Amino acid sequence: MISMPVTKTVKIRGLNTHIQEWGDSSKPLLMLLHGWMDCGATYKYVSQYLVNDYFLVAPDWRGFGGTDHAQSYWFPDYFADLEKILDLYAPKQAVNLVGHSMGGNIALMYAGIHPARVSKVLSLEALGMAPTKSGEAPEKYRRWMREITSDAPTKIYPSFDALCASVHKGNPRLAPDIIIELATMWGEGVGDQGACRLKHDHAHRYANPVRYNFDDVLEVWKEVSAKVGLVMARDSSFFQRFSEFGRIEEAKRVLRIADTDYFEVEQCGHMLHIEQPQVTANCILEFFK
């Protein structure tokens, strides 16, 4: 049975930040960090397998889920937000982190930026982003300029069923009841005619004007002292791309990921904590045992 979370709203760096908790706070803390266009609530599917062993805390990042929208989204802000959240739950203590996708990238970077605050970190489908070339820079700036000055409105879905259809299109493996739950967690009503929209700030969809520099990421990873684990989904496009340009083996070397701390989930796409929650939870339990 999926346990019901306790929901809180706390002020983090000036933003009302939505946080969900599962379990007994006297148990070891396990911080669960969600990915891009997701929210902390979707960890409910793995929580049922972890809650007997851990106190689970899943915040919504700025501009996602129930957390306030911000003026802008500079990626290092996530590191500072995480720092303040950890100060709230585990002041001056090293913690255990699980991060999916964007949340995994935040966790790995934070572990290198502030090594003393992280004991172990398990990355779910996150090893940085694809490398970029300097020639891409002019168009990245142009695209960002077009998007941020366009005043493009947030997409409105005429009905909850239309929102569910959109969620299903992006997650075709999931059962109809899970699609309805995700649409409820990710969406909200607009007006009184049954229309809906996604809760996340539309600004998250703007192109990043700054070119991604993986060399900088590698240097931060080299500073990680925590034990690091990695879970990849075999049918995920992330697994395929990372395999193609050797990122998985490179990460194993730089982050010192032991063979026993590397896991692959079969018959599963990128949203492995939703598609295969029990298998994903087993990986988490094995890594943090």
Name the residue with tokens 């080299």: 222
* Residue 20: Cβ within 10 Å count: 24
Domain residue extents for the chain: 6-131+212-288, 136-204
Cβ-Cβ contacts under 8 Å for 289 (sequence gap 6 or more): none
| pLDDT, tens digit (0-9, with 9 covering 90-100), for 215-239 | 999 999 999 999 999 999 999 999 9
| pLDDT, tens digit (0-9, with 9 covering 90-100), for 37-46 | 999 999 999 9
Q: What's the rounded mean pLDDT across residues 241-251?
A: 94
Name the residue with tokens 């988490």: 284
Name the residue with tokens 């802000």: 77
CB 209 within 8 A of CB 144: yes
Class of domain 6-131+212-288 (CATH, top level) = alpha beta
Q: Distance of CA 267 to CAs 168, 233, 276, Å?
A: 18, 8, 9
| Cα end-to-end span (Å), the chain | 23
Separation of alpha carbons 159 and 211, rounded Å:
37
Amino acid letter for position 20:
Q
Where is pLDDT greater, at 4 or 57?
57
pTM for the whole structure: 0.96
Q: What's the rounded mean pLDDT across residues 54-82?
A: 96
Confidence of residue 1 (pLDDT cuts 50, 70, 90): low
CB 220 within 8 A of CB 109: yes
Q: Distance of CA 98 to CAs 23, 32, 88, 111, 170, Å?
A: 16, 5, 17, 11, 23
Strand 118-124 with 187-190, pairing: unpaired
